[in-house]
Amino acid sequence: DTGVSQNPRHKITKRGQNVTFRCDPISEHNRLYWYRQTLGQGPEFLTYFQNEAQLEKSRLLSDRFSAERPKGSFSTLEIQRTEQGDSAMYLCASSFLGTGELFFGEGSRLTVL
């Protein structure tokens, strides 16, 4: 296993378009997290899964954001009707249940024009 994989690494889109990011976690890990990060700031929690179940979604997230983890393997994060304020790095991480030791992907950078 080569670790957590995210794609695309970079996405430039126009305001109002939809975008989807994919995350392939480490295969043995049952927890999967999505975070958003802007320059020089810490990762902001978006949502997380235990296997295929979505356990929590940040109250700061609008209904334009949705995430899935079908079959408890890879996950997708979709942003509908993108806004310029959505421009950020979107990070995916995976872990075993009960540990705070996260393994991150390299992130997907979104630029909304």
Partner 1 sequence: TQLLEQSPQFLSIQEGENLTVYCNSSSVFSSLQWYRQEPGEGPVLLVTVVTGGEVKKLKRLTFQFGDARKDSSLHITAAQPGDTGLYLCAGLKTSYDKVIFGPGTSLSVIP
How far apart are alpha carbons 69 and 31 in whole angstroms?
10
Instruction: For residue 23, state whether it binds partner 1 (rule: CB under 8 A).
Output: no
Instruction: For residue 85, state whether it binds partner 1 (rule: CB under 8 A).
Output: no
Instruction: For residue 97, state whether it binds partner 1 (rule: CB under 8 A).
Output: yes
For residue 91, what are the β-bridge partners? 35
Place of tokens 């993108």: 82
For residue 83, what are the β-bridge partners? none
Pairing mode of beta strands 108-112, 10-13:
parallel
Instruction: For residue 83, state whether it binds partner 1 (rule: CB under 8 A).
Output: no
Instruction: For residue 21, state whether it binds partner 1 (rule: CB under 8 A).
Output: no
Instruction: For residue 70, state whether it binds partner 1 (rule: CB under 8 A).
Output: no
Residues that bind partner 1 (CB under 8 A): 4, 33, 35, 40-45, 48, 55-56, 91, 93, 95, 97-107, 109
